[in-house]
Amino acid sequence: MLFVICVSCAAAIQDNHAKILLEEAANERKTEAKFVIESQMENGNNILKIDESYAKIQEVVVNVKRKIQNIAWYHDSCYRSEEAKNLS
């Protein structure tokens, strides 16, 4: 039976760890890469959620500013109306 190990492992002195078959090492790296990709995709989804939340918050801020302006305009109109009555 032929065991294929990584060329670097075969050439280097690496007695501090067990040598594993190249196929096993490749499968481990594949699993690690898959995990990294899935994590990045999850991070991307989280960023999209944050962007959506930010857009909603901006809409709320615009609505609140508009309401404050309307209230200010209403109070200003009432004040001017009272002022006009007092001058008459």
- % residues pLDDT > 90 (the chain): 43
b/e per residue, 25-44, with b = 16+ CB within 10 A?
eeeeeeeeeeeeeeeeeeee
Summarised one tens digit per residue, pLDDT across range 20-35 is 777 887 888 899 999 9
Question: In this predicted model, what pLDDT tens digit does every residue of 2-17 receive, in sequence order?
Answer: 556 666 665 555 566 6
Structural domain boundaries in the chain: 7-87
pTM for this predicted structure: 0.51
- Taking alpha carbons only, the member of 23, 24, 5 closest to residue 14 is 5
